[in-house]
Amino acid sequence: MPTFRNLLILAVLCFFSACDSGSEESGAVTDDDQVKEQDNGDMNAGGQDIVIDSLPLETIILPEGFKIAHYATGVENARSLAMGKNGTIFVSSRKHDEVRALRDTDGDMVADKMWVVASGLNTPNGVAFREGDLYIAEISRILKLSDIENNLETPGEPEVIYDEYPSDTHHGWKYIAFGPDGKLYVPVGAPCNICESDSIYASITRMNPDGTDMEIFVHGVRNSVGFDWNPQTNELWFTDNGRDMLGDNMPPCELNRAPEKGMHFGYPYCHGGTISDPEFGSKYDCSRFTAPAQNLGPHVAPLGMKFYRGNKFPEQYRRNIFIAEHGSWNRSEKIGYRVTMVPVVDNSEASGYKVFAEGWLNDAEQEAWGRPVDLLEMPDGSFLLSDDKANAVYRIYYEG
């Protein structure tokens, strides 16, 4: 039986052994590390821990050298993406009433904290960030949460900056973004599949950040749920969802370019630049309208689109447009459910249309496990991609 003296000697030896184990191999925490952990904890206090659920990313096919990884899972109905100046990722929802904020607090390119920053909203599909404030688009209103990154725990009630958009829910959900002119751009979809309507419908509008001076920028846009500006020319490019009920292969969805205010892109009279609408096309010839910069697949439902501004992708991918195709809903053979790329020549001309990432749709079984929605370029040159079916945000990057 050990004596008291032996036990005392053993305790002393264990104490000195533990104090001497502070090497890199042992994972010991230095004084500097303790300071960093404390600072990081203060800055990112609270929030719900994100536990990554594994999705079948092995089915996704990308060009050689590109990889896809989980950035966040469990983000219900993840739709539009916006990034704050401190790296917070804001994620909207169309089918739920909440907007969420994600943070990667340890710098491993995977989000580990999530906050609900707004709830009880009416289809809050659009989010945009400007000068510390988060803007949110409902069906008929534009809201603002001030100084949001410093108030993730207690964001308060949003300020209403505009509340005069139509209340129609058909194509009423909105994508929003600030343009190079400092104005907030807000689309207003057609309240139908195909119809003539008041001028506010089937348009893209813009306003000052305080909600004043709302005006229609372009007309004839059936339902745009994604746009971006060419960083070389500051010209607006946008996707548009083509009408339904003309068969599996008509009309094409569209990628359009709007270098100036007042342009008309054809809806409801003309589709894809050359297809006269069977109901309304007799009123105006297609030559009166601006044709698409690039026709896309029929019923692919193009949503978010972004110019790639970074330099981490190989040269052939730079300065081109990437489009998240949500996928068809009533085509006899499903199409879309992928990310496509449109090369841009001389900063103004679209040159072709090709698949960049696919595999969310099983063509043989005609079942999709995911539906891409929006793209967001990160400071490291990777893309985030939201998925409202898999409730996830992915990161696409080039590894070479």
Residue 339's closest CA among 303, 295, 292, 380?
303
As a CATH number, domain 48-398 is: 2.120.10.30
Phi, psi values for residue 261, rounded to 5° = -70, 150
Q: How far apart are CA 243 and CA 251, in angstroms?
A: 7
DSSP letters for 7-76: HHHHHHHHHHHHHT--STTTTPPPHHHHHHHHHHHHHT-S-EEP-PPP--GGG-B--TTEEEEEEEE--T
227-229 and 215-219 beta bridge pairing: unpaired
301 contacts 319 by C-beta, under 8 angstroms? no
pLDDT of amino acid 400: 82
Three-state DSSP class for residue 39: helix
Per-residue pLDDT at 46 = 83
| Residue recorded with tokens 């390119």 | 109
β-strand pairing of 78-83 with 66-73: unpaired
Alpha-carbon dihedral sign for residues 163, 169, 170, 175: positive
Q: Which of 389, 283, 293, 394 is nearest to 347 (CA)?
A: 293
Find where tokens 């490019």 sit. 237
- Per-residue confidence in pLDDT tens, the chain, 400 aa: 444 344 333 343 333 333 333 322 223 222 333 323 333 334 446 899 999 999 999 999 999 999 999 999 999 999 999 999 999 999 999 999 999 999 999 999 999 999 999 999 999 999 999 999 999 999 999 999 999 999 999 999 999 999 999 999 999 999 999 999 999 999 999 999 999 999 999 999 999 999 999 999 999 999 999 999 999 999 999 999 999 999 999 999 999 999 999 999 999 999 999 999 999 999 999 999 999 999 999 999 999 999 999 999 999 999 999 999 999 999 999 999 999 999 999 999 999 999 999 999 999 999 999 999 999 999 999 999 999 999 999 999 999 8
Q: Domain coordinates of the chain in residue numbers?
A: 48-398
Angle at 217 between CA 214 and CA 220, to 5 degrees: 125
Cα gap 299→89, rounded to integer Å: 29
Distance between CA atoms of 347 and 367, rounded to whole angstroms?
37
Residue 61 DSSP one-character state: B
Give the whole-angstrom CA distance, residue 258 versus residue 241: 16
Task: Report phi then psi at 174, rounded to 5.
Answer: -130, 135
Residues 6+ apart with CB under 8 A from 185: 176, 177, 178, 179, 204, 205, 206, 217, 227, 236
Quote the tokens at residue 63: 């060009």
